[in-house]
Amino acid sequence: MAAFRCRRDPCGFVCLILTYFSVFYADYVVIQYVLLPAYSDSVWSTLHGSVFNLILLLLLACHAKAVFSDPGMVPLPDTAIDFSDLRSQSSRMSERGCEGWTVCSRCETYRPPRAHHCRVCQRCIRRMDHHCPWINNCVGELNQKFFIQFLFYTGIASLYSMVLVVSAWVWRIRNERESDTEKEGDEMPGKHLIVAHYIILLVESVLFGVFVMVIFYDQLVSIITDETPLEQMRNRLMIKDKSLSSATSLPAHTRKPKLALLREVFGRGSVFCWLLPLNSSPPSVGGVIYSALPDYDV
Ligand SMILES: [Zn+2]
Ligand SMILES: [Zn+2]
């Protein structure tokens, strides 16, 4: 039930509808105006149609997983917690090996290291990256893999549709030059419609393609550097504060191998499994490993 709290954002609803509309529009134009006219007599029509639809299917599957998966919501306590004795509670938690846990005043609960409160979801999310309206959900520890896969397949689909549209357009121009030139007035309305669809799909592909590739790159950098955007911002502020106050050494950041960091997100399976929207095995038996990061406040 907790996952459905994220569905109340109107911007998220609009972005979800826009995503589905863009995917189905791209499929319609590619099939109706690119593949059928340009490759109608060859096996390329079936081949390109199958591959393109497979990419779109994977895109939608990853998107659905990112939308409906729990991003890693910190559970709310069954009973109200008394925070009046916060200092002694914190020391007790440290004794139990729960260093780095903080208190969220809005959720009124303790939260593990790297968890942040999302104002849209109104919950604390473990290793929260950001709240994404395109999936109407937070990107967090448990669904970041699906979000990155969604970006990957959107980028591939955008590139593929660009190549198909441009090649079909070139084919159409060449075909028109070679064929009859005397009855060019007869097909003008149809021609304009096709060109309009080509232009709209090209603009859509360029916009979405560039957009997702930039976010895809940011996501990979944040995994490899083991810092979410929120942590990057906080660390930058800490560096600025330190340099302003004194030249004391900065807190040491955990340095895990890049492959280990990628496996924490994409699972321990083979690299081929990283491309599929399958639930990966948890990073450790009996729970999730939290990186040792300095404590921070709400
Ligand atoms: Zn919270
Ligand atoms: Zn959120």
Active-site positions? 132
Confidence of residue 288 (pLDDT cuts 50, 70, 90): very low
Ligand sitting nearest the alpha carbon of 110: 1
Residue 256 CA to ligand 2 centre (angstroms): 27
Question: Looking at the CA of 9, which ligand is closest?
Answer: 2
Ligand 1 centre to CA of 247 (Å) is: 34
Name the DSSP class of 131. Answer: E
Distance 127 CA to ligand 1 centre (A): 12
Return the C-alpha torsion angle 145, 150, 156, 158, nearest 10. -150
Q: Give the number of the ligand closest to the Cα of residue 298.
A: 1
Q: Residue 31's pLDDT is what?
A: 93
Rounded to the nearest angstrom, the distance between the alpha carbon of 127 and the centre of ligand 2 is: 12
> Crossing angle of helices 188-224/229-245, nearest 10°?
50
Three-state DSSP class for residue 205: helix
Task: Give the mean pLDDT of 274-286.
Answer: 68
Going by pLDDT thresholds of 50, 70 and 90, the confidence category of residue 91 is: low
- Tokens at 89, concatenated: 């509670």
Mean pLDDT of the chain: 82
| DSSP label at residue 32 | I
Q: Which ligand is nearest to the CA of 3?
A: 2
pLDDT class of 184 with cuts at 50, 70, 90: low
Where is pLDDT greater, at 115 or 292? 115
Which sequence spans correspond to the domains of the chain? 10-72+141-178+187-275
- Give the pLDDT of residue 45: 87
Residues 265 and 226 sit within 8 Å (Cβ to Cβ)? no
Q: Using CA of residue 261, residue 263, residue 266, residue 272, what is the dihedral sign? A: positive
How many CA atoms are closer than 13 Å to the CA of 274, on its beta-carbon side? 12
Is the pLDDT at 152 greater than 70, yes or no?
A: yes
Span from the CA of 95 to the centroid of ligand 2 (angstroms): 31
pLDDT confidence band for 295 (50 / 70 / 90): very low
Q: Which of 83-87, 144-148, 287-291 has the lowest mean pLDDT?
A: 287-291
Choose among 151, 115, 156, 124: nearest CA to 135.
151
Q: Classify 63 as helix, strand or coil.
A: helix
**Dihedral Cα 92, 97, 103, 104, nearest 10 deg:** -150
User: 0.85 exceeded by the pTM?
Assistant: no
Residue 230's pLDDT band (boundaries 50, 70, 90)? confident
Q: How far is the CA of 81 from the centre of ligand 2 (A)?
A: 23
According to the model, what pLDDT value does residue 279 have?
A: 79
- Average confidence (pLDDT) over 45-55: 94
> What's the start-to-end Cα distance of the chain, in Å?
25
Which residue's entry shows tokens 């340009």? Answer: 38
Measure the CA–CA gap between 120 and 65, rounded to whole angstroms.
Answer: 19
Tell me whether residue 25 is exposed, middle or buried, using C-beta atoms within 10 angstroms of its C-beta: 0 to 12, 13 to 18, 19 or more.
middle
Flag the least confident range among 20-29, 35-44, 90-99: 90-99
- In order of 68, 98, 227, 272, the CA distances from 5 in angstroms are 11, 28, 26, 33
Indicate the SS3 state at residue 142: coil
Q: How confident is the model at residue 292 (pLDDT cuts 50, 70, 90)?
A: very low
pLDDT of residue 141: 92
CB 140 within 8 A of CB 288: no
Residue 202, φ and ψ in degrees, nearest 5? -65, -45
